[in-house]
Amino acid sequence: MKPLAFALSLGLATVQLVSSALAADITGAGATFPFPVYSKWAEAYRKETGNGLNYQSIGSGGGIKQIQARTVDFGATDAPLKGEQLAKDGLLQFPTVMGGVVTVVNIAGLEPGKLKLTGEIIADIYAGKISKWSDPKIAKLNEGLKLPEANITPVYRSDASGTTNIFTTYLSSVSEGWKKEFGAATTISWPAGQGGKGNEGVTANVKQIPNSIGYVESAYAKQNKLAYALIQNKAGKYPTPDDKAFQAAAASADWKAAPGFAISLTNQAGDEAWPITAATFILVHKEAADAAKTGDVLKFFDWAYKNGGKLASDLDYVPLPANVVGLIHEEWKTITSKDGKPVL
């Protein structure tokens, strides 16, 4: 088993790639959604530059709190902060990669991509309104597929989670019932099921609990060889959750439509668009307490934009379009040291 796959299978939530004793590591914390790609980038960056990265995969809520408290060099979140919050906290926000959230299931003998679901059905499962895999609504979508007469165990994030925000934003866009009763947020009062901390915890629970369903970033499904469901998109199609489908969802996105690039890519139009697509974001202070360290953070992500595309694609993440990277570089020019000098 490859080191990353082994780490993910154990639910390890920290990547620490140590450079030489003379070089101080960059420290970051937050979203579990991008953990696999950040760990791959960190490994390659260390080999090329000798500089290390210590990233704690603790969930978006934890990452936001840590950057607000200035206990890390950068925070990471899948639930982008709105302009007023960024201004209040003196933060700059920028995306790194795009990816998809997938529903994964543990049904004996079921292969990836064989089960079909709609957003309404997924919402009803998580709302406790559909409780068995043999439910007529699921059976009608999956004629010829043998599904068990068994109770469904929904698995959800127990921590404050950007992945939950993406997932519930999608459910709110396809189910009026879900929107009215639960809405979209980083934490939800789940009526049924079992919680797991981080994408790692949800992955582990789905693997361990027969007839369960969970929502995780696509790389976790791929690395752990979990069976995923195809989800009907806005066009009524059932695309495969891969980089082509994630790119299709982002094809017409207006990245300048909101401060901090805080746009939604869920439930986008297009035959090939994966319906639960999202970007993941980095947070840094606009006035750097340690200009050199903030500069190191930006150099790391600059390297990733230029050199990390294939590593991202190999894990089913989608690199950002070149024009978006250009916009990000312009934003970086506004980051200064305490004496007002540009960090880069």
Q: Which domains does the chain have, with CATH numbers?
A: 3-99+279-337 (3.40.190.10), 101-253 (3.40.190.10)
- Residue 3 has a pLDDT of 40
Return the structure tokens found at 189. Answer: 């009062």
Within 10 angstroms of residue 338's Cβ, the number of other Cβ atoms is 10
> Residue range 260-267: average pLDDT?
93
**CA-CA distance, 326 to 308, in Å (whole number)?**
16
The 10s digit of each residue's pLDDT in 186-209 is 999 999 999 999 999 999 999 999
Q: What letters, b where the CB count within 10 A reaches 16 and e where it falls short, cover 244-262?
A: ebbbbbbeebebeeebbbb
- pLDDT value, residue 21: 34
Cβ 168 vs Cβ 177: under 8 Å: no
pLDDT higher than threshold 90 for residue 13? no
> Tens of pLDDT along 218-253?
989 988 999 999 999 999 999 999 989 998 998 878
In the chain, the amino acid numbered 243 is D
Report the chain's mean pLDDT, rounded to a whole number.
92
User: Where residue 7 falls among pLDDT bands split at 50, 70, 90?
Assistant: very low
Mean pLDDT confidence for 325-344: 94
- pTM to 2 decimal places: 0.84
18-54: string of b/e by CB count within 10 Å (b at 16+)?
A: ebeeeeebbbbbbbbbbbbbbbbbbbbbbeeeebbbb
List pLDDT tens digits, range 25-84.
999 999 999 999 999 999 999 999 999 999 999 999 999 999 999 999 999 999 999 999
User: What's the whole-number mean pLDDT along residues 142-147?
Assistant: 95
